[in-house]
Amino acid sequence: MAKFHLTLTVNDETHELLIDPRRTLLNVLRNDLNLRGVHRGCDSGECGACTVLVNGSPISSCMRLAADCDGADVLTVEGVAANGELHPVQRALVDHGGIQCGFCTPGMIMASIALLKENPRPTEDEVRFSLAGNLCRCTGYKKIVEAVLSVAEAVKP
Amino acid sequence: MSSAIGQRQPKLDAPDKATGRTVYGHDVRLPGMLHGQSLYSRYPHARILNVDISRALKLPGVKAIITAADNPPTKFGYGKDNTPLKGDVVRSLRDEVAAVAAIDPDIAAEALELIEVEYEPLEALFDAAAALKDGAPLIHAERGTNRFSHFNYTHGDLEQGERDSDVIAEADYELPYVAHAALETSVVIASFDHRGHLTLYSTTQIPFLLQRDLSEALGLEGSDVRIIQTAIGGAFGRGLDIYPFEPIAALLARKAGQPVRLSFSRHEEFLAAPVRQPVKAHIRAGATRDGQITFRDVYALLDIGAYVSWGSVTPLVMMETTASLYRVPHVRFTADCVYTNNPITGAVRGYGNPQSTFWVETTMDRLAEALQLDPIDFRLRNANRPNEETPQGLKITSCGLKECLEAVAARADVEVGSWKMEVGKRVASKSPVSNLQSPTSNLKRGIGFASTLNVGGGARIYRSDGCGATVKIDDFGHVSLITGSTEIGQGSETVLAQIVAEVLGVKIEDINVLNSDTDVKPWDVGVHASRTTFIAGNAAQLAALDARQQVFETASQMLGVAPDQFAMRGGDVVTLSGDKSIELGKVARARHFRAGGQIISGEGFYDPPTQLVDKDSYKGNISAAYGFGAQMAEVEVDTETGHVRVLRLVCANDVGRAINPMAVEGQMEGGAQMGLGYALTEELIVKEGRVLNPDFHDYRLFTSADMPKLETIIVETDDPQGPFGAKGVGEMGGTPTAAAIANAIYDAIGVRLTTVPMTPERVLRALIEKEDCDTC
């Protein structure tokens, strides 16, 4: 099959890749760009572990062909911390005990960042609804929701 | 310096997990690594006539194909009834017939399609009761029966219990398959070195037992197998045994001469990973007019599927709940574990306890109703107490069951002794979510309670319940804890570091925990049975005390002060009088930079003073401590749709002492999520041996939006044998949830459900049956 010439900016770095056009964004991020913080949990858009931001919007990278992201700007969990400091959402998840096995964590972080960008002071229900596409089997979500709300609290109205 | 014990300590591994640095099994890449995939059976029960791999072998990129001809001669598994690949007969749709290693996953998948297998279908058994009938086809012919095991426990005199009873409650229960649904699917990487030694990267929970079992299964020496546990993306009992994919990966790697990774897709995870065994149970129980339990009589029939695992020991836990949750003078518990052609089953968090707590605690409410007693009052009258031995031989030391019940009752604003269930009439408790509603509304509210008893000081189901630990202090005052136990997300690494920090007076940041390599760490039976804080915690404490003694001896030689006149504080060794102090690293250096020098290396091994249950009577004290808990659920039931919404779940657990309250809450809250799913949404639907809902769309976990308001209450009772008073809590968070919700549904609409999940269809059917009955 003819290869697809993909240009992808990931975490502020631009890559040119020749890929099989059938491959997903998840597959390319994990295997070509070694971004293994993007987790593969279900391959069907049901668990949210592979959530990344494409042009600022959260998507399940297992459900998106990499070729469809040609020219796009992608943000993964590896690109979120700046200058060696955890992003406030990362910090809050650590401090509130919102991380246990950690497999859902990168997707949770990306979904939370997308929410807070769109809605800096969400209500608890809004947080719960926004994260409903990200499954967690360890925490019961309570501490994750509290962490995200604590970041929202810190934003001046 | 403040104590490290009782701190809300963030997990040490959390920052790496938050930044994508953590290496899970799926992230491991070894040079030359191939991708393995297994071909599963097309029939639930069939004779294999021929397996033709010739076309698949010709596919470019295929490096190895194995079939039963490549199996070593030894069978493996708890019942020694399993082989990596099946050669003569397949007994389940999840049976592996062949496996391929190829240079990429797509080629491996293509190769599987080129393998031709001829089957001769055999009569299959999908029902445990049918499998027990005379003349039923045998799943394992050489065993002569489909009954794998039978349990028969009694204490007291059941007939006396019947005679003493003023009220009797009796019901049949049917409980389903449940999946672990860990977010990370199963994965294993097998790699041989030039000596023929195997390194297995694994998500197992039992590295040392797997080392032994896998070496036996492969015909290797135990010393030829090294298990390295990658970061584990959720376990929940999935990794409690050896399963075929592990030897298959090793056999592929050996044949190909290259490392092989075998990772499950989500679909495969639902089909081929072990699941909770479905059980049918009958319970009969009685009580006296003054609210004393008289007896319990339970029979449980478990479908263990085509092969057994440690999951077939779950009747021991069902037995414990049946015989020892509350004071019960007369008990009989019998159970059969039966082979069928259904999916294989294993251990799932709670290990029989969610099932048995469901039938015991819903029956408690039936009895309370018959006695017209407040169900909390009834429970309190029969509650286990501290420092008593149950007739089963459980030596209860610390016990906060009463405190847990009272705590959840207080949150429900129910005064103990004054509350009576008033079916369908509950319009308000004083809680904020229980607003008044119209009696004519189709939304009915109710509250329900349930308790739980679980091992909290290890569980001796194997001849050792031990764990080893080493504490090493280096030249810079940095501490390494090398522990046999494993971090599976629950936070054991952090709790063990807190224990060591407390003993050595160092900051938690100065401790590194090594816990993932069988070539490095000392022996441990595994991370299960809520045992790690208690058992590995005691071992870590012993090792730290040993290291501290070595520090004091050297400091004594350096300062001319007696060894017992020192303390460790703030990273320094200080005299009790407070006038002299040396930096810890300096003591470590002084100890070895000298003739006849030594290093600081403390050792600890802890195996609790417990017993295997007696093989005939099943009595004995299997745990050094017992955990208790209670939950209160407040539900709203829509009588038009049957939909049950849990508004509030209040969870109280007696954990001895919370070394890390944030982690304890995490266990309680996460357990509640699983308990809520068990109660309302989770069921692996299996028809004729086939899983019909192998994805998260149809196997529904609770999401953040589905969760009720969760409240946790930590009850501390300071266990005499626990490290700093702590007991285990890992499994208790979800064991009473389904029962509390079922009791709340009864309070709301007057129907008693005896199966889970309590789906809208089931609730509605029960309501219709009740109405039919009310008018007949």
Q: Give the model's pLDDT for residue B772.
A: 82
ipTM: 0.98
Question: How far apart, in whole angstroms, are the C-alpha atoms of residue B522 and residue B483?
Answer: 6
Q: SS3 string of B148-185?
A: EEEEEEEECCHHHHHHHCCEEEEEEEEECEECCCCCCC
Q: Which helix (H) or strand (E) holds B366?
A: helix B353-371
In sign, the C-alpha dihedral spanning B500, B501, B505, B507 is positive
3-state helix, strand, coil split of chain A in percent (to 5) is 40, 20, 45
Gap between the terminal Cα atoms of chain B:
72
Q: Torsion angle, CA of B457/B401/B384/B288, rounded to 10 degrees?
A: -150
Closest CA to B526 of B468, B469, B486, B483: B486
Q: How far is A82 from chain B (nearest CA, A)?
A: 11
Which of A138, A139, A146, A149 to mutate to probe the B interface, most B CBs <10 Å? Answer: A138
The chain B residue lying nearest A40, using CA atoms, is: B184
* B18/A35 CB distance under 8 A: no
A11 in contact with chain B, both atoms CB, cutoff 8 A: no
Smallest Cα distance from B616 to chain A, Å? 38
Read off the tokens for B201.
């990267």
The reply to whether B490 touches chain A by the CB within 8 Å rule is yes
Tens of pLDDT, residue by residue over A14-43, are 999 999 999 999 999 999 999 999 999 999
d(CA A47, CA B88): 38
Does residue A87 carry a pLDDT above 70? yes
* A146 touches B: beta carbon within 8 Å: no
In angstroms, the CA B100 to CA B111 distance is 7
**Across the interface, do A78 and B236 touch by the CB < 8 Å criterion?**
no
Neighbouring-strand partners of residue B711: B650
Q: Are B234 and B488 in contact (CB under 8 A)?
A: yes
Helix axes B401-411, B375-382, angle to 10 degrees: 170
pLDDT in tens, B320-364: 999 999 999 999 999 999 999 999 999 999 999 999 999 999 999
Angle between helices A142-154 and A105-118 (to 10 degrees): 40
Quick one: which H or E segment has residue B188?
Answer: strand B187-192
Nearest Cα to Cα of residue B10 among A36, A82, A60, A92: A92
CA-based torsion, B97, B102, B104, B110: positive or negative: negative
- CA angle B567–B571–B573, rounded 5-degree value: 35
Rounded to whole angstroms, the Cα distance separating B327 from B401 reads 12
Best interface-test mutation with A: which of B17, B178, B711 has the largest number of A CBs within 10 A? B17
Give residues 208 to 237 of B whose Cβ lies within 8 Å of A: 231-236
pLDDT for the residue numbered A154 = 82
Residues 682-711 of B with CB under 8 A from A: 695-697, 701, 703-707, 710
Contact A142 B707 (CB under 8 A): yes
Question: How far is the C-alpha of B1 from the C-alpha of B336, rounded, in Å?
Answer: 55
Determine, for residues A41 and B185 on separate chains, whether the beta-carbon distance falls below 8 Å.
Answer: yes
| Phi, psi at B755, each rounded to 5° | -140, 160
Strand partners, B652: B630, B713
Do A109 and B18 count as a contact with CB atoms less than 8 A apart?
Answer: yes
**B749 and B423 Cβ atoms separated by less than 8 Å:** yes
Interchain CB contact of B420 with A (< 8 Å) = no
Omega before B757 cis (within 30°)?
yes
> What's the pLDDT score for residue B25?
98
Least CB–CB distance from A43: residue in B10, B265, B491: B265
Q: What pLDDT was estimated at residue B437?
A: 52
Residue B23 burial (CB count, 10 A): 13
- Are the beta carbons of A103 and B24 separated by less than 8 Å? yes
Alpha-carbon distance of B251 to A117, in angstroms, equals 50
Say if the Cβ atoms of A100 and B491 lie within 8 Å: yes
Secondary-structure breakdown of chain B: helix, strand, coil percentages, each rounded to the nearest 5: 30, 25, 45
Helix, strand or coil for residue B422? coil
Q: How far apart are the first and last CA of chain A?
A: 53
Of B266, B490, B696, the CB nearest to A100: B490
Residues of chain B with pLDDT under 50: 1, 427-436
Give backbone dihedrals phi and psi of B367, rounded to 5 degrees, phi first.
-65, -45
Per-residue buried b or exposed e for B208-239, using 16+ beta carbons within 10 Å of the residue's own CB: bbbbebbbbbbebeeebbbbbbbbbbbbbbbb
Q: Which of B26, B696, B705 sits opposite A47 (nearest CB)?
A: B696
Task: Report CB contact under 8 Å: A99, B182.
Answer: no
pLDDT, residue B436, reads 43
Set of chain B residues whose Cβ sits within 8 Å of the Cβ of A143: 662, 665-666, 669
**Contact call for B20 and A97, based on CB within 8 A:** no
Q: Closest by alpha carbon to B278, among B699, B630, B689?
A: B689
> From the CB of residue B737, how many other CB atoms can be counted at a distance below 10 Å?
30
Coil, helix or strand for B12? coil
Nearest CA in chain A to B14: A94
Q: Which amino acid is at B307?
A: Y
Find the CB nearest B234 among A77, A86, A137.
Answer: A137
Out of A35, A47, A139, closest to residue B670 by CB: A139
Classified as helix, coil or strand, B648 is strand
- Look at A134 and B704 and tell me if their CB atoms are within 8 Å: yes
- Maximum Cα–Cα distance across chain B: 95
CB interface of A with B, residues 36-55, below 8 Å: 36-44, 46-47, 49
Banded model confidence at residue A84, pLDDT cuts 50, 70, 90: confident
Do B446 and B746 meet the contact criterion of CB atoms below 8 Å apart? yes
Considering only CA atoms, which of B91, B83, B79 is closest in space to residue B45? Answer: B91
B491 interfacial to chain A (CB closer than 8 Å): yes
CA–CA dist B454, B457 (Å, integer): 9
For B702-758, what is each residue's pLDDT tens digit? Answer: 999 999 999 999 999 999 999 999 999 999 999 999 999 999 999 999 999 999 999
- Does the distance separating the beta carbons of A86 and B18 come in below 8 Å? yes
The HSE-up count of residue A60 (CA atoms within 13 Å, CB side) is: 17
Extract the runs of DSSP E, i.e. beta strands, from B24-166.
Answer: 34-40, 46-52, 62-67, 89-90, 96-102, 116-121, 147-155
CA distance B90 to B74: 17
Given B27, B183, B673, which is nearest A101 (Cβ)?
B183
What is the C-alpha separation between B745 and B762, in angstroms, rounded?
Answer: 12
Q: Tell me the C-alpha distance between B612 and B618, whole Å.
A: 9
| B189 neighbors B201 (Cβ within 8 angstroms) | yes
**Measured between CB atoms, does B18 come within 8 Å of chain A?**
yes
Tell me whether B203 touches chain A (CB under 8 Å): no
Phi, psi of A144 (to 5 degrees): -65, -45
Give me the helix-helix angle, A88-96 and A105-118, nearest 10°. Answer: 130
Mutate: best of B33, B106, B183, partner A, most A CBs <10 A: B183
Residue B548 three-state SS: helix
A144/B19 Cβ within 8 A:
no
Strands (E), B260-359: 260-263, 279-287, 293-305, 330-339
Report the predicted TM-score, pTM, of the whole model to 2 decimal places.
Answer: 0.97
Asked if residues B293 and B326 have their Cβ atoms less than 8 Å apart, the reply is yes
Answer for the pair B606, B525: CB distance below 8 angstroms, yes or no.
no
Please tell me the distance in Å from B710's CA to the nearest CA on chain A: 7
Pairing of strands B443-455, B467-473: unpaired
Find the CB nearest A78 among B20, B23, B234. B20
How does DSSP assign B190-212, residue by residue? EEE-TTS-EEEEE--S-HHHHHH
- Angle value at C-alpha B263, between B87 and B492, nearest 5 degrees: 120
Quick check: B696 and A43 in contact, CB under 8 A?
no
A53, amino acid identity: L
What is the least distance, in Å, from the CA of B182 to any CA of chain A?
6
Tokens 């046999």 belong to residue: B484
Q: Which residues pair with A7 in a beta bridge?
A: A16
The C-alpha angle B628, B629, B630, rounded to 5 degrees, equals 145
What confidence score (pLDDT) does residue A156 get? 67
Rounded-to-10 torsion of CA A123, A127, A129, A135? -160
